[in-house]
A and B are shown apart, each in its own frame.
Chain A
Amino acid sequence: MADLVAKFAVRRGEFTAELELRCAPGITCVMGRSGSGKSTLLSVLAGLALPDRGTIALGDEVWLDRGRGICIPVHHRRLAYVFQGLALFPHMSALHNVTYGMRETPRAERASKAQALLDRVGVGHLAKRRPRTFSGGEAQRVALARALACSPKLVLLDEPFSALDRELRAQLVSLVRELAPELGVPVIHVTHSIIEARLLADHVVQLDAGKVIAEGKPDDVLDLGALE
């Protein structure tokens, strides 16, 4: 399975980010204060923002090379992005939300595969309902199922559990821990929580003021004393 290799620079007014990172398949937790460049990193990797210079490649696939004028558009990158606010489509049922990104799956199999995914994350009973009726935890699970449904080559999670209480968060963290090895692709999980990072991460990247200031195994990078 392919590593993600990214090196780019972005300048937006006062803010400058110069980031370089390599993520192997498994979970990379990206940590840092607000304004450290975490959201910029995800936007650039997803193709929602264009850096001023740099390259992004997933194995042999070049997604971005500003020098050579290559920029694969978002909808051709085959990634899964779970937004902070989840961004479930409010006018579609849970099932329809999950089938939305199933480009690779034959049409006839989409509904059954989506139902299986919803069952897998524990919200199969919500298939026909729309997002406005979901609790916070249920919405998170549907968003995870939707992200996994598109057979992604890269998964981006933008503080998906920040609005949940401790117990729900623990359940979802173990769900992600369980699902990541099955996907076999790089999963980049942005979080503020040291506990979350310790439970999830194979690799930790710490950002500050638009730069990588530390990276490595969780035990090496995370301050064990600084628990929440």
Chain B
Amino acid sequence: MNWLPLFLSLQVATIAMLFALVIGTALALLLVWKKLPLPDVVAALISTPLVLPPTVLGYYLLTIMAPHSLIGRAFHWLTGGDIIFTFKAAVIAATVGSIPLVVGAVKVGLDAVEPNLIAAARTLGASPARVLATVTLPLAAPGIIAGAMLAFARALGDYGMTQMVASSRFDGFGIHNESPASIFVIDELVALREDSARNMAIATTLLGIVLLVLANRLTRRLQRG
């Protein structure tokens, strides 16, 4: 069996999950702290990727990151390369799709932190940054882990956006001109290689289940304290 599509998907999903976690947690904190102007509009904008068809999002990303666009030209000037039709584009597409899921899950985690615990940390002399690092984020950890899992699953399963901005084959770390698992399954079916498509489908499913079990165990352990 060709494992490379699964490895490529894992690379994209892991990096996208990390980016989505950082950006999504920051957005959730700003929403919970009410630091954003027009919070209802911002919350709706953050959730938009959930309601748009992946091809529409893909179209926007394609337009924003195209070689002749402002971002495309700036990136070319900085690195000499393009974003579109590369591993980077696949990561960006997966990140954009995952951010609203992270924001939602982390917000639930943050809302569950008792305000008195934050007040107690402040009266004990902790600076706002220390309160965040030692009380707020550790106590919101179950929400953050749930967000990470959702982001990873969303990134692993992305098809439409990836196809549009990264094409069906691109390079990964140590992987040359390969399809990610979600696209590989369709390509193999179309090419009437059903065995290969089924093996990849089963491998992806097993991987998803193992990761979910691990995340659930980690969450339970944190909640037990």
CB within 8 Å of B: which residues of A? 46, 48, 74-81, 83, 85, 87-91, 100-101, 103, 130, 132, 146, 150
Contact = CB atoms under 8 A, between A and B. Distances in A.
B225 A90 contact: yes
B120 A81 contact: yes
Contacts of B222: 91
A95 B139 CA distance: 18
Contacts of B122: 48, 74-75
Contacts of B138: 91
Nearest to A143: B120
Given A85-B116, A89-B135, A90-B139, A100 B123 contact: no
A52 to B, nearest CB: 21
B125 A83 contact: no
Given A77-B123, A80-B124, A83-B120, 12 more contacts: A48-B119, A48-B123, A75-B125, A75-B127, A78-B125, A85-B116, A89-B121, A90-B117, A91-B138, A100-B124, A101-B125, A103-B125
Contact of B117 (A75, A87, A101, A150): A87
A75 B120 contact: no
B139 A46 contact: no
Contacts of A150: 124-125
Q: How large is the interface on B (under 10, 10 to 19, 20 to 34, 35 or more residues)?
A: 10 to 19
A75 B126 contact: yes
Interface of B: 114, 116-117, 119-128, 134-135, 138-139, 222, 225
Nearest to A146: B124
Nearest to A100: B124
B196 to A, nearest CB: 47
B123 A81 contact: yes
A135 B119 CA distance: 23
A77 B134 CA distance: 20
Contacts of B121: 89, 100
25 contacts: A46-B119, A46-B123, A48-B123, A74-B119, A74-B123, A75-B122, A75-B125, A75-B127, A75-B128, A76-B125, A77-B123, A78-B125, A79-B123, A80-B123, A81-B123, A83-B119, A89-B117, A90-B117, A91-B138, A91-B139, A91-B222, A91-B225, A100-B121, A101-B125, A103-B125
